[in-house]
Amino acid sequence: MKPIKFVTSLLLTLSAAILIGNLFQFNLGAFILVLFVTGLLFKMPKGVSLMAIQKEIWQNDIVGNLFKNNQFAEAAYNADQYVLGGAVVHVPNAGAPLASQKNATVFPITGVQRTDSDVIYPIDKYFQAPQFVQNVEEAELSYDKRQSIMGEQQAQLIQDSMDGFLYNLAWKTPAVIGNTKANYVLTTGAPTATDVVPNAVGSRKVFTQDVFSAIVKAMNAANIPGDNRIALLTAYHHQQFLDSLSDAAKTGFNAFADMKNGVVGMFLGFKFMMRSTVQYWRNTAGVWAPVDTQAAGFTASDKSNDSAASLIYQSSCIERARGDVKVFDNADRAEYYGDLMSCNMRFGGRQRRSAGVWAVIEDIAA
């Protein structure tokens, strides 16, 4: 155990020396020698170690990888600057502009005070349960289990926060989730009994290019900007959509693929992106409503009338906000015979302009 820690410390010292030496143009050999001798002669104060540096690196990893494979969220309006105390978003919201008076003849024109209404909503908290690594494992295993655990926790934290963000976009009112659901259209394709969400009963109509006609018309009528329009499709919907295109249309669609930025194609001015799941909606007595798959009661609920939904939107019509990101690393916990690690994050968002956000839900086939 001690030889391993010695080698690790030596490698970290060497890395730090190279970095600092290059930054400040020190004599590299002399600087390494000074660091090494200092480490031998002087013991670090209690509680001061490279652990704090590692925690900061892990926190930066979460932030840095937040939009990796989640470019749909990166395209949204960034409201991080409006997060208060890491927990609540407070966005100043200007009132409606006044119509101009053409060829006015009566002066002075009466002044009118603009009424502003701020947008305030909480952002969700996501926690990863603590996991521990026993000291004996660090000596026996051929890989860095600490790094493996933290990497898995980071990835799952990001995945879950994005799932929650997409659920929030299924509602028009961020402060009162569950009040007013998003605009939506239903698929109109042929029925399929295979490409459906788990535990759904019966068949669903497939996703075809036809659904875009109504959405494009509604967006244009509402003066939604024509640029930065995005279609975020589930994996099934993406394939069903491709199947509905002619060979020539497929060629044109694929010509605009930009996989580095998450774009799999373009159609009618919409950049297409793909994700395994986007939203769930449930039909209860003929009424569609979004379903929170992260809610405590979801697992035990009746999913027979659930359907997957994709999201069509203009990027400035949705908003994302990130709050605090924390990594916890408690070394040498006696009750665990090793180190205990966990992390959490606050992340959320909302619809900014509902006319530019549409869900496309799989209709239940008769």
Sketch the domain layout of the chain as residue ranges: 67-78+126-366
Tell me: pLDDT of 181 over 60: yes
Residue 68: per-residue pLDDT: 64
16-20, 275-279, 346-350, range with the lowest pLDDT:
16-20
Using pLDDT thresholds of 50, 70 and 90, give the confidence band for residue 62: low
Lowest mean pLDDT among 57-66, 231-240, 346-355: 57-66
pLDDT of amino acid 303: 94
Per-residue pLDDT, averaged over 264-286, amounts to 95
Cβ neighbour number for residue 316 with a 10 Å cutoff:
16
User: Which carries the bigger pLDDT value, residue 36 or residue 100?
Assistant: 100
What global pTM score does this model have? 0.77
The pLDDT value recorded for residue 87 is 87
- pLDDT attached to residue 225: 95
**C-alpha span between 146 and 134 (Å, rounded):** 10
Range in 150-164, 201-215, 281-295, 347-361 the model is least confident about? 150-164
What pLDDT sits at residue 47?
44
Supply the pLDDT for residue 19.
53
Highest-scoring range by mean pLDDT, 110-114, 189-193, 322-326: 189-193
